[in-house]
Structure 1
Amino acid sequence: MASLNVYSALVVLFFTRAAAMATKENDQIIKDNNCETKMGLPCVLEAFTSIFKTGTISSKCCGELVGFGKVCHTTLVKRTLENPLFKDLSPARIIVKSIQTWNICLALIDSPSPSA
């Protein structure tokens, strides 16, 4: 029975350490790419609402999001999911919404604007 407790403790330690390493890796990617300085706060909030809640993102903010870059977008979503405040969210659902938001913005930015 004692070996089961030791095994359980090792499993918990492994997953805790893996989560901490993932957080450090994400933080390093964010730092290396200057992710936290690439979008204005209003568009950050719009993108956040579109992904983590229910909302849409404007074409202006889509432009900022695409300019933000896929690496920064994906990494910040992952880092947000690591935050204990968001532990009740479904990571799979958030990842799907994140990809949808990115694709909508990419299509919006890539499509030619209608001429008047």
Structure 2
Amino acid sequence: MATKENDQIIKENTCETKMGLPCFLEAVTSIFKTWSISNKCCDEHVLLEKVCHSALVKRTLENPLFKDLNPAKIIAKSIQTWNNCLALINSPSPSV
């Protein structure tokens, strides 16, 4: 998907305002580098909605800073991160 299409999706869905910057940075770092995300940021990440998640990951992949990364691996990791966060927030909380 071209940058213009991703930018349009991001703008139309107000993606950049749905998640706080600290958790956004943690999610991006999780997908592109560390492979882990906190429970708090998972909650915010899922509120971002899948369409925003996908568009933001694809737009980030188009950045020249990430040109040496394997896009298929990053997209697979982004899907894994999304699914892990969904499972986390949908699992019953342990009783205290």
So what's the TM-score if we normalise by structure 1?
Answer: 0.80
Matched, 1:61 2:36: no
Task: Give, in whole Å, the separation in 1 of the partners of 2:81 and 2:35.
Answer: 10
Residue of structure 2 aligned with 1:81, choices 61, 64, 68: 61
Task: Give, in whole Å, the separation in 2 of the partners of 1:53 and 1:86.
Answer: 11
Gaps of 5+ in 1: 1-18
| Structure with the largest fraction of helix | 1
Residue of structure 2 aligned with 1:109, choices 76, 86, 89: 89
Gaps of 5+ in 2: none
Residue of structure 2 aligned with 1:71, choices 42, 51, 59: 51
Q: For residue 55 of structure 1, report the CA deviation from its aligned partner.
A: 3.8
Which of 1 and 2 has higher RCO (CA within 8 Å, sep 6+)?
A: 2
> What SS does the corresponding residue of 1:114 show, helix, strand or coil?
coil
Map of 1:36 onto structure 2: 16
Task: Give, in whole Å, the separation in 2 of the partners of 1:81 and 1:25.
Answer: 14
Identity of aligned residues (%): 78
Task: Give, in whole Å, the separation in 2 of the partners of 1:113 and 1:45.
Answer: 26
RMSD between superposed Cα atoms in Å: 1.0
Off by >6 Å, runs of 4+ in structure 1: none
User: Once the two structures are superposed, what CA deviation does each residue of 1:57-80 show, in whole Å capped at 9, x if it has no partner?
Assistant: 111100100000000000000000
Residue of structure 1 aligned with 2:31, choices 38, 48, 51: 51
Q: For residue 54 of structure 1, report the CA deviation from its aligned partner.
A: 1.4
